[in-house]
Amino acid sequence: MSLGEQDVVARVRRVTLRELRLWMREGWVRPAQGEAGPVFDEIDVARIRLLCDLRKDMALPVEALPVILTLIDRLNMTRRDLRHLADALEDQPPEVRRAIAESLRARRD
Q: What would the pLDDT profile of 58-103 be if each residue is shown by its tens digit?
A: 999 999 999 999 999 999 999 999 999 999 999 999 999 999 999 9
Task: Please state, in angstroms and rounded to a whole number, the distance separating the CA atoms of residues 14 and 52.
Answer: 7
The DSSP 8-state label assigned to residue 58 in this structure reads S
The verdict on pTM exceeding 0.85 is no
pLDDT at 37 over 90: yes
Residue 1 has what pLDDT? 77
The DSSP 8-state label assigned to residue 36 in this structure reads T
Asked if CATH classification 3.30.450.40 holds for the domain at 1-60, the reply, yes or no, is: no
Residue 25 identity (one-letter amino acid): R
pLDDT at 9 over 80: yes
